[in-house]
Chains A and B, each alone.
Chain A
């Protein structure tokens, strides 16, 4: 099972990575990178790192890449012209994919049964144990690097505000 997952999502990740480099339009490169990040997140799950997989999807593929896409749409003068040519075909594709997503989500919602989740004697889901160990490690042995990252983020925020403001 793990071998199958590895070859499937490893292959998707590699193809998406090649597509990042091969695409002419930066916008499509960014979309390929999101696909690559998602496949690697599945590999993280296979490597028993559920927390890292979740952070990869939420922070990396979600927050960071959305910000990158905003900047690309703002700066890249070729994206808009290229997108207009294929708009009709892409609209059909988007509608089809949205329909598939709707059916999948609806099926999952119908199948969801909270009582079926594995629970240990203390009432805590078993899958939560490794993540709590990660948190313990982060707030004991690696407390100083963790606090250093918060200073780094603060410095980055101030730097961005200074860099991107309009000169009067």
Chain B
């Protein structure tokens, strides 16, 4: 078993756990970044094992998407704080079914 994939799995699990237990949208966002990073590590590990650069191209694309996601996510958080004075996602439950 490739040790890099094991590390990637562990990082992803830590990120998932944090996303579930955290009660602050900013902290949850950081955990999402952690998961993306774990996925990137897996991509690069596969790229080296299979001897192909495609994996690195995917990492590049993931980083671009992560940058866009960060910008839009942070803007949503600013709007949320401005309107509700809270960062707890449990307080923003207007669309709860």
User: Is the CB–CB distance between A67 and B59 below 8 Å?
Assistant: no
- Band of interface residues on A: 35 or more
User: Is the CB–CB distance between A138 and B7 below 8 Å?
Assistant: no
Q: With A14-B14, A71-B77, A137-B57 given, is the CB distance from A29 to B48 under 8 Å?
A: no
Q: How many A-B residue pairs have CB under 8 A?
A: 152
Query: Which residues in B have their C-beta under 8 angstroms from that of A21?
Result: 14-15, 17-18, 21-22, 31
User: Is the CB–CB distance between A49 and B47 below 8 Å?
Assistant: yes
Instruction: With both chains docked as a complex, state the minimum distance between the C-beta of A58 and any C-beta of chain B, in angstroms.
Output: 10
B26 partner, pick from A55, A64, A76, beta carbons under 8 A: A76
Task: Return 9 A-B CB contacts under 8 Å, by A number.
Answer: A14-B7, A21-B18, A21-B21, A52-B59, A71-B26, A74-B78, A153-B64, A155-B68, A164-B78
The 8 closest A-B pairs by CB, nearest first: A21-B18, A156-B68, A163-B75, A149-B64, A17-B14, A160-B75, A164-B75, A71-B74
Q: Chain A: residues with CB nearer than 8 A to chain B?
A: 6, 10, 13-14, 17-18, 20-21, 26, 29-30, 33, 36-37, 40, 43-44, 47-49, 51-52, 55-56, 59-60, 63-64, 67-68, 71-72, 74-76, 130, 133-134, 137-138, 142, 145-146, 149, 152-153, 155-157, 159-160, 163-164
